[in-house]
Amino acid sequence: MNDINFSHYQKIVIKVGSALIAPDSRACSTEYCLPIANFIKKCHAASKQVILVSSGAVAAGFNQLQLPANQSINLEQKQALAAIGQSIVICHWQRFFDQDVAQVLLTSDDINNPKRASNAKKTFAQLEQFEALPIVNENDTVVTEELKFGDNDMLAAQVALLTDADLLIICSDVDGVFNDNPHTNPEAALIKTIDYGNQDVIGYAKTKHNPHSYGGMLSKLQSAILASTQGIAVTICNGKKEAYNTLWSNQNPGTWLYPSRAKVMNNELSHKNTLSEA
């Protein structure tokens, strides 16, 4: 699949990982974030709603304290570093936008609790009315292992479900899903499309290579499959190469996951019913 009707997608969740925000695993960098911000602004100009799920808080805190690059850190230290780095990440993104940005910190408990989830959904809706860009991250300072999403890939999928998004863009530092690890095997081949319901590709996922990130291709695939089963189209693409920009020419930017058509139709019907009731 190479042809994609990007104009069809009006509510987009974009997940940006630590490899793009802090490519040296330490300080926040402009190199890859500024082009992503420009893509978001272009989406806004096209009347698309965007929610940004941003990693990088731990790396920002790591840099702020000037810790040794090879220092290992436990969960409690990561939580403290995230607390230090959260404001740094928000300020980092704010400088790219004339509009307001809004920090939204969530835990899996917030998503799984109906009342909290409803409140969060209303907050996202109000931020849209205020024309503020929501920047979402996990609330690392209060979560325990039992409550963690595990990584921001799953958080992005859950936010996409919560906000009724129709497209999830996962920006990675590789071109998409490969049949082997492209960092170690130069012969690895890119998988351009994944049909709905095909979970065999999970076997292609390899371990992470960024020491200050939580996820890897496995978490990206698991998150993408979750979103696609609920009727959300997903693309995993290379943020370092600004591959997401090819969407404007209706081209596949990396690996495209087909959504469940039944869910898409149900979602569209529910949306129409909501509009008619309003």
pLDDT: is 219 or 50 the higher one? 50
Judged against a pLDDT cut of 60, whether residue 206 lies above it is answered with: no
- Compute how many other C-beta atoms are within 10 angstroms of the C-beta atom of residue 185: 12
Does the global pTM surpass 0.85?
yes
Q: Rounded to whole angstroms, how far apart are CA atoms 60 and 144?
A: 21
pLDDT: is 212 or 110 the higher one? 110
Beta strands in 223-263 (DSSP E): 233-238, 254-257
Q: Which CATH topology does 6-277 take? A: Carbamate kinase (3.40.1160)
What pairing do the DSSP bridges indicate for beta strands 190-191 and 101-106?
A: unpaired
Q: Rounded to whole angstroms, how far apart are CA atoms 27 and 61?
A: 8
Question: Average pLDDT, stretch 253-266?
Answer: 78
Take residue 2 and report the two structure tokens written for it.
């190479």
Q: What is the pLDDT of residue 149?
A: 57
Judged against a pLDDT cut of 90, whether residue 147 lies above it is answered with: no
Q: Where are the domains of the chain?
A: 6-277
DSSP β-bridge partners for residue 171: 16, 237
Task: Assign 271 a pLDDT band (cuts: 50, 70, 90).
Answer: low
pLDDT: is 7 or 265 the higher one? 7
224 Cβ contact partners less than 8 Å away, ≥ 6 residues apart:
153, 157, 168, 170, 194, 234, 236, 257
CB 60 within 8 Å of CB 28: yes
Q: Rounded to whole angstroms, how far apart are CA atoms 106 and 148?
A: 10
- Per-residue CA distances from 224 to 33, 85, 126, 276 (Å): 22, 27, 26, 31
